[in-house]
Amino acid sequence: MEFQIKSIGKFKYIEEGEGEPLILLHGLFGALSNFKDLFDYFKMTHRVIIPMLPLYDLSLLETSVSGLQRHVAKFIEAMGLQKFHLLGNSLGGHIALVYTLKHQEKVHTLILTGSSGLFENGMGETYPKRGDYEFIRHKTALTFYDPNVATKELVDEVYEIVNNRIKALKIISLAKSAIRHNLGQELNEIKSPTCLIWGNNDTITPPMVAEEFKKLLLHSELHWIDKCGHAPMMEVPDEFNTILDDFLSKHKM
C-alpha cells in the first residue's frame, strides 16, 4: 500500500481514521511499512497518526533520543493533540517513554514493543562494514524469529542506510544515545496504564528486558507472543492487534 504523506509546518506524518488518537513511533531502522498491518486494522476504530521521525535530518548534536523526543513533542503540539494513546517499537518505544515522563497528562495509555530504554543488543560488537551485503542480510534477519520476514526489500533498505556515510554516522549516534540514556531510575514515575507486547524470541531486547520493564512500570501488563522476534506488529500482526485491541478497549478515554 502507498501511504499518503501529509505535512504541518516542518513535520511530515501519516494519518487516517477517526476516534481516539493512536500515535505510532517507529524504530531505528524502522519504516512506515513496519506498521502497515497495525495501521490498516486500527484506522477503522481510531485516528491513527505516524510521525516521520527525522533520524537523518537533525544536526549531529540533536541526533539523540532526547532530540527525537523534542521533535515528537513539537509535532504533537503542532497537531493540537491533548490526550492520546502512544505506541513505540524499539527506539520508538524509548522516545515514547521519555515523552511520557515529561508529558504524563497527555499520554492516556502507553504501549511498548521491543523497546529500548533499559538494555538492547545493537549491531553487536562489529558495526556493519560498508558494502558487506551478506552481513547486513544476516543482521536484519536476526530481528525476526522467522528470517524470511527479512525480505530483500527490507535488507536493501538497511543496506542503503549503512552505505550512506552521513546516515551511518547518525545511526551510530542514535544507537549510542539509546545505550547511554538508561531510564531504569525513572520508570516508576510513569502513571499511565502501559501494555508491554513482547516477542518470546526477541534477541535485541530479550525477554529479561520485558520482565524488567514490567517490574519498573507500576501500572503495566505484559503479553508474550511465541515464535516472534523484535517487531511483533510485523511478524505476528494478527495476535499483536488482538492484544492491543483488548488493551485499548479496557482503557477508553
Lowest mean pLDDT among 53-67, 110-124, 126-140, 141-155: 126-140
pLDDT-derived band at 130 (thresholds 50, 70, 90) equals: low
- Mutual angle of helices 165-180 and 152-162, in 10-degree steps: 90
Domain assignment of residue 165, yes or no: no
Domain assignment of residue 43, yes or no: yes
Evaluate whether 21 touches 51 at the Cβ level (below 8 Å): no
Is the pLDDT at 70 greater than 50? The verdict is yes
pLDDT-derived band at 126 (thresholds 50, 70, 90) equals: very low
* pTM of the shown model: 0.93
Domain assignment of residue 150, yes or no: no
Which residues, including other chains, have CB under 8 Å from residue 126's CB and lie 6 or more apart? Answer: none
Please give the pLDDT value at position 157.
85
pLDDT digits (tens, 9 = 90+) for 165-202: 888 888 888 888 888 888 989 999 999 999 999 999 99
What average pLDDT is seen over the chain?
91
Domains held by the chain: number: 1
Q: Residue 46's domain spans which residues?
A: 6-121+182-250
Please give the pLDDT value at position 123.
45
pLDDT-derived band at 29 (thresholds 50, 70, 90) equals: confident
Domain assignment of residue 229, yes or no: yes
Between the alpha carbon of residue 200 and those of residues 169, 231, 244, the distances in Å are 31, 11, 17
Between the alpha carbon of residue 227 and those of residues 131, 235, 252, the distances in Å are 31, 9, 30
Please give the pLDDT value at position 124.
42
Domain assignment of residue 170, yes or no: no
Please give the pLDDT value at position 199.
97
Find, among 205, 239, 245, the residue nearest to 113 by Cα: 205
Domain assignment of residue 52, yes or no: yes
Which position has the higher pLDDT, 243 or 61?
243
Domain harbouring 79, CATH code: 3.40.50.1820
Query: Which residue type is seen at 235?
Result: E
pLDDT-derived band at 247 (thresholds 50, 70, 90) equals: very high
Domain assignment of residue 243, yes or no: yes
Domain assignment of residue 136, yes or no: no
Please give the pLDDT value at position 131.
64
pLDDT digits (tens, 9 = 90+) for 201-234: 999 999 999 999 999 999 999 999 999 999 999 9
